[in-house]
Amino acid sequence: MVKLSVIVPFYNVQTYAPDTLRSLAANARDDFEFVLVDDCSTDGTPEILERAERELPGARLVRHQQNGGLATARNTGLDAARGEYLTFLDGDDWLAPGYYPRLLSAIEDLGVDFVRTDHVQCTVRNRQIFRVPHGRRNTVLDPRAAILPADRSTCVDYAYAWAGIYHRRLADDGLLHFRDGLRTAEDRPWIWRLHRRARTFAVVGLLGVYYRRGVASSLTQIGDVRQLDFIRAFDQVIEETAQDEEAAKLLPKAIRTYLAIISHHLGNIERFEPAVARRLRSLSAAAMKRMPQDLLRDALDSMDYERAARLRRVRRRPVGAEVAV
């Protein structure tokens, strides 16, 4: 029986994949499997993964015939996974030795649907610990209660899928798959759905995931049209939250977060090509017009002057048919 399935998408990461795979080897166990998803890489990544399938204990290689993006690659891995528990890793990140056995012990000891963990962000030689924004550790918690308050960073703002472990029953209930084709912000609707619909979770102070920042091919570093998929991702958050039985309580948080992300991108608009920058402004204006206007006004009134003024300027833009997403 497979106890843990680790789903690892790879796309054109030949420089980093060997480190990732070595760290998986340092976490291997007879009842662990590593589902390696090659998302149609065009560099040397496929050859590296072919060798890993032969040499890494528990490795299974799955190939895409065309590039689908991170969300689709994770879904492919989920569909192939056989473990009682599931987790994720990105193909350019790495793990501390023995991390997964400790993570598995944590969720089994607590008996919850999922566990969230802290992580280390790495930029060149700099390392910084990022904590799950929840103070209570090593105890069974209500996922829904960890969404609020609206005016503070909460667990739904810590959207890294690889910073945790998940029981298979969540996949069986349809809570672990991502929206196919989302090229950025794919974790946002995913984490909101998880916290709205799962029954129990816990936070543990277990460090062992090393998240590599500043990778040139990462979408966080690329100012092209794919970055605008955050609009589709947060539209999904708003749509699904609006259908929740506690929509009146949860929507202010969803809208405030959406506006914060829009403002972030507008504040860094110079990294986008001119046509993409124009589209960002138009899409942002349209998104604000789709929001419940009373909640939008309340959110803008509660924000600092600079962010609120930036959003109000864009909100006044006319919206044409070209903003369809």
Q: Are residues 77 and 177 in the same domain?
A: yes
Q: Are residues 227 and 147 in the same domain?
A: no
When pLDDT is averaged across residues 63-71 and rounded to a whole number, the result is: 95
Q: Are residues 244 and 186 in the same domain?
A: no
Positive or negative, the Cα torsion across 309, 310, 315, 318? Answer: positive
Across the chain, mean pLDDT equals 95
Q: Are residues 183 and 250 in the same domain?
A: no
Q: Are residues 203 and 80 in the same domain?
A: yes
End position of a domain, from candidates 160, 191, 220: 220
Backbone φ, ψ for residue 295 (5° rounding): -70, -35
Kindly tell me if the per-residue pLDDT of 317 is higher than 90: no
Q: Are residues 247 and 211 in the same domain?
A: no
The CATH number for 85's domain is: 3.90.550.10
Q: Are 27 and 104 in contact (CB under 8 A)?
A: no
Residue 216 amino acid letter: A
- Please tell me the distance from the alpha carbon of residue 325 to that of residue 321, in angstroms, as a whole number: 10
Positive or negative, the Cα torsion across 61, 67, 68, 71? Answer: positive
Q: Which of 60, 61, 32 is nearest to 46 (CA)?
A: 61
Kindly tell me if the per-residue pLDDT of 218 is higher than 90: no
Residue pLDDT, tens place only, 246-281: 999 999 999 999 999 999 999 999 999 999 999 999
DSSP string covering 11-63: SS-TTTHHHHHHHHHTT--TTEEEEEEE----SSHHHHHHHHHHHSTTEEEEE
pLDDT given for residue 272 in this prediction: 93
Q: Are residues 163 and 82 in the same domain?
A: yes
Q: Are residues 128 and 171 in the same domain?
A: yes
Residue pLDDT, tens place only, 75-123: 999 999 999 999 999 999 999 999 999 999 999 999 999 999 999 999 9
- Please tell me the distance from the alpha carbon of residue 101 to that of residue 165, in angstroms, as a whole number: 11
Domain count for the chain: 2
pLDDT given for residue 320 in this prediction: 62
Q: Are residues 115 and 140 in the same domain?
A: yes
pLDDT given for residue 224 in this prediction: 79
Percent of the chain with pLDDT over 70: 95
When pLDDT is averaged across residues 216-245 and rounded to a whole number, the result is: 84
Q: Are residues 175 and 233 in the same domain?
A: no
User: What b/e sequence results for 151-179 when a residue is b if at least 16 CB atoms lie within 10 Å of its CB, and e otherwise?
Assistant: eeebbbbbbbbbbbbbbbebbeeebbebb
End position of a domain, from candidates 182, 199, 220: 220
Predicted confidence band of residue 221 (pLDDT cuts 50, 70, 90): very low
Q: Are residues 193 and 92 in the same domain?
A: yes
| Domain enclosing residue 177, as ranges | 4-220
pLDDT given for residue 215 in this prediction: 62
pTM of the model: 0.93
Kindly tell me if the per-residue pLDDT of 291 is higher than 50: yes
The CA-CA-CA angle for residues 193, 198, 199, to 5°, reads: 155
Q: Are residues 283 and 184 in the same domain?
A: no
- Please tell me the distance from the alpha carbon of residue 279 to that of residue 272, in angstroms, as a whole number: 10
Kindly tell me if the per-residue pLDDT of 321 is higher than 90: no
69 burial type by CB count under 10 A (0-12 exposed, 13-18 middle, 19+ buried): buried
